[in-house]
A and B are shown apart, each in its own frame.
Chain A
Amino acid sequence: NAGVTQTPKFRVLKTGQSMTLLCAQDMNHEYMYWYRQDPGMGLRLIHYSVGEGTTAKGEVPDGYNVSRLKKQNFLLGLESAAPSQTSVYFCASRTYRGKRNSPLHFGNGTRLTVT
């Protein structure tokens, strides 16, 4: 049981390049989230999804797009990377069944540097 798996673990991009971060969960969770962590800022929600085929904006969505074509996968895309997107990105998932406030399960993060 792998839980939440993020790929890649590290990536360096040049300004203007694009990339996709992949998140996969094997817990059959309905909800999935993308957060970014920056020094002194904590974790901030970028986008989230409450089910296959649905996505919504979080606190800091600009410059990112997401897709959830399959229940177990949640993709985060950067179309034209900027240095301000240098961060550590965390994917998380949770279930809503049976427990209203079930906790988030996080992946181990992707460290992205944009030069």
Chain B
Amino acid sequence: DQQVKQNSPSLSVQEGRISILNCDYTNSMFDYFLWYKKYPAEGPTFLISISSIKDKNEDGRFTVFLNKSAKHLSLHIVPSQPGDSAVYFCAASPNAGGTSYGKLTFGQGTILTVHP
């Protein structure tokens, strides 16, 4: 049972436009969410995160939105650049009073291609 789902396997966007990547989760115990970016032949690298006490977190061109009632989060990249082309993974963690030990549940990933 996939507790974190990224239903779009791929997304193609023109340079300068907005990229919106979506993620849904089913486990109501998740209260911390992260996005990772992965280039070919490299490991995932941390991009941005959000705690369930917030509904928005911004870092430069990247903004993550969280809708707890819908169990949905999205990553907005504005403006998109060709260097943003990568696989993006959504991940979630239940803090559970600290006993989750940072274990993350990942989505399947979305391949973002930004065309010049």
Interface-facing stretch out of B12-20, B71-79, B101-109: B101-109
- B104 touching A48, Cβ below 8 Å: no
A45–B102 alpha-carbon span in the complex (Å): 11
Task: Give residues 59-116 of B contacting A (CB, 8 Å).
Answer: 89, 91, 93, 95, 98, 101-109
- A108 touching B108, Cβ below 8 Å: no
Classify chain B: how many residues form its interface, as a range.
20 to 34
Q: How many A-B residue pairs have CB under 8 A?
A: 66
- A106 touching B45, Cβ below 8 Å: yes
- A31 touching B102, Cβ below 8 Å: yes
**Interface SS of A by simple majority:** strand
Classify chain A: how many residues form its interface, as a range.
20 to 34
Cβ-defined partner of A44 (8 Å) among B9, B36, B106:
B106
Closest to B41 in A: A108
Closest to B109 in A: A42
A90–B105 alpha-carbon span in the complex (Å): 14
- B108 touching A104, Cβ below 8 Å: no
Task: Give residues 97-115 of A contacting B (CB, 8 Å).
Answer: 100-109
Task: Give residues 14-67 of B contacting A (CB, 8 Å).
Answer: 32, 34, 36, 41-46, 49, 51
A45–B103 alpha-carbon span in the complex (Å): 8
Chain B contacts to A: CB under 8 angstroms: 4, 6, 9, 32, 34, 36, 41-46, 49, 51, 89, 91, 93, 95, 98, 101-109
Known interface pairs A56-B101, A101-B49; 19 further A-B residue pairs with C-beta atoms within 8 A, sorted by A's residue number: A33-B103, A35-B106, A42-B89, A42-B107, A45-B103, A48-B101, A50-B101, A59-B105, A90-B43, A94-B102, A101-B32, A103-B49, A104-B46, A105-B46, A106-B36, A106-B45, A108-B41, A108-B43, A109-B43
A-B pairs, top 10 by smallest CB distance, nearest first, are A106-B43, A103-B46, A42-B106, A43-B106, A42-B108, A108-B43, A106-B44, A107-B43, A50-B101, A42-B107
